[in-house]
Every structure is written in C-alpha cells, then in structure tokens.
Structure 1
Amino acid sequence: MTPEDLDDMAALLGSPEVMRFYPRPKTREEASGWIGWNERLYREHGHGLWLIELRDTGEFVGNCGLTPQNVEGTVHVEIGYLVRAELQGHGYATEAAAACRDYARDVLHLDRLIAIIHPGNVPSQRVAEKVGLRLERLATVHGLRRRIYAGSI
C-alpha cells in the first residue's frame, strides 16, 4: 500500500456499506492517513495491511494484513480485512486472511493472532473462524465493545 493507492483506498474506506461496522466511513484525508499508518507499520514491524488484488487482472479488491492492536492494555497482532462491497461473499477475505495467517506463522514466527470484530459483523466472524480463530471474549477496544476472536497458529 502506497500513496498511489489513495483512490482505491478512499473508495474502500469511504464506502458506507464496507464501513457499516465502523463508527463511520472515512474521508479521503483519513484514507491517506490509513496508508501512512501502514507505511509506518511496514518500517517499524515489517508488516501491516496489504492490498488484495485479483491475480489475473490486478483489480483492487480490498486490504488484509497484520497490525499491532492494544486490547485492554495488552498489544496483540490482529489479522484484519476489508473487501469492496460488490466483491464480498466470494472468498477473497478468507483467502487473504489465510495467507496472512500463514505468513504470521511461517515468516514472523508468531504463535497467536486475534481479530477484533463488531458483534453484528457475522461475515467477518465467519472469516475469522475459517482461518482458525475462535471467540475468546468481549472487550472494549477504542471505546467500543467488540468480540475478540483468537487462536494459536
């Protein structure tokens, strides 16, 4: 993810449907900040969120990756994913999340991942379960109650 991806990321993060489980869609400026945040993560941690693109065409699908997240005073590595609304339900999030899980285990040598998910976001919960995470608990994250899915990888 680079500044050249701003149009795609602004459309993704600005979509009311994609962002329905977030407090609100993000502005173009906030999407630029999202890209900057990921560039910092790449430098500081060697990973962050990456673009999801179709292999055959290079079409932008969304983003998925690994980010450090503070959950009630403890930092965990979260697997996160967002897919364009019209491409949801085709398995792209699951395929990308499985690849990120494998990268976390095989390259980063992590032994545990979490996913922070809105209680109403059943499709995201299914993706987490498909990659081996299970509901662990409810927690307050950034002032909001969320389901924490977690698992050994």
Structure 2
Amino acid sequence: MILETERLILRELVQEDFDEVCKLLQDPVVMYAYEGAYNNQEVQEWLERQFRRYANDGFGLWGVVEKESGELIGQCGVTWQDCDGKRVPEVGYLLRKEFWHKGYATEAAIACKEYAFEKLGFDEVYSIIRDTNVASQNVASRNGMKKVAAFVKHFRGVDMLHLVYGVHRG
C-alpha cells in the first residue's frame, strides 16, 4: 500500500491486475480524452510503463481500490510528464465510469498531491488535462489547482489542446 484515504487504498499495480485495468482502459467512454479505448497490447504497454516508473522513479500511477468492495476502480498517482517541453510532476487520475460522481477522483488526487509534496519533496505539481475534459478540470480545481498554461499535445495522430493546472506547496 502506498496511500490510504477514508474510502480508498492506492497501491502499486501488478501484472495480475491486467483484466481489471482492461475494464478501465478499454472503455471508450472513460477513454474519450485519449481518442478511444486501448487494445490488449496497449493496456499491457501501459502497465509495463507503470512498472518501469515504480522501478526508476519510485512512483507512478497506482491502482485505486475501493475499501468497501476491495475492487480496483481506477488509477491515480504521480508521474513525470512533458509539459510543452518541460518535465514536470503530474497528478493524474482515471476512474471506471460506474465510480464517477462519488468524489473518489478528488479524494485520490488530493492524497497524491499531498504525497508529492510531503514524501517526494516536490514544490509544485500539475495536472495536464484535455480541454474537453471538464470533469477532470473540476477535480484539479477541487485539488487546489489553478489553470496556469495551455499547449497542444500530439497523441494517437491528433493534435489536442491541453490545459495545465498547477499548485505550489502550501
């Protein structure tokens, strides 16, 4: 276990989570901001990227487990991301749609922001969010972040405007 909140446990993902991660990354509704669902190979590559992050950086996107059910409901964590040519620590989050609108993303994101400041020693963290993803922008705002920049990211053959939200250590 990496983090615990009132309702959630955040832990490193393992290969045995593949089927549960597929429920998240293969849902076109959840993945609309990424230009569609991932296939099995893309899910595996995504998992392996997290394993490398754990090994190389000591952090990454962690599995979000609902305490009450024990179910893996999404991912949230801290990763290094390119932000218009600058490498920054990002708090990222993605939940299965049946767990939307319950406050879980905000709860996990706040815990990850605090972890980034207190355990990882960052002075500022960001969330980089597609301009059309209003729900994630709202989570960033509830996480104390303000919009600080915007840039175009090229992903899956598409130019996508992304908004950059940031917050400094309080």
Same fold (TM over 0.5): yes
Say whether 1:34 aligns with 2:46.
yes
Q: Secondary structure at the match of 1:132?
A: coil
Structure 2: distance between partners of 1:127 and 1:49:
17
SS at match of 1:40: helix
**Counterpart of 1:147?**
163
Q: How is 1:3-152 mapped onto 2 (pairs within 5 angstroms)?
A: 3-142=15-154, 143-152=159-168
CA distance in 2, matches of 1:120, 1:94: 18
* Whole-angstrom distance in 1 between the partners of 2:36 and 2:29: 10
Q: Matches of 1:107 and 1:9 in 2, distance apart?
A: 26
Partners of 1:129 and 1:21 in 2: CA distance: 18
Which one-letter code corresponds to 2:89 in the other structure? V
For the aligned residue pairs, the C-alpha RMSD in angstroms reads 1.0
Contact 1:41/1:47, CA 8 A, preserved across alignment: yes
SS at match of 1:99: helix
Structure 1: gaps spanning 5 or more residues: none
Report the 3-state secondary structure (helix = DSSP H, G, I; strand = E; otherwise coil) of the residue aligned with 1:21: helix
State the aligned residue count.
153
CA-to-aligned-CA distance 1:4-45 (integer Å, 9 cap, x gap): 100011120010110111122111111111110000001111
Shift of 1:92: 0.6
- Displacement of 1:57: 2.3
Output the CA distance in 2 between the equivalents of 1:29 and 1:11: 14
What percentage of residue pairs aligned between the two structures are identical? Answer: 36
CA distance in 2, matches of 1:70, 1:21: 17
Return the offset for 1:141: 2.4
1:133 Cα deviation after fit: 0.9
Gaps of 5+ in 2: 1-12
TM-score, normalising length from structure 2? 0.87
- The answer to whether the 8 A contact 1:50-1:64 is kept is yes
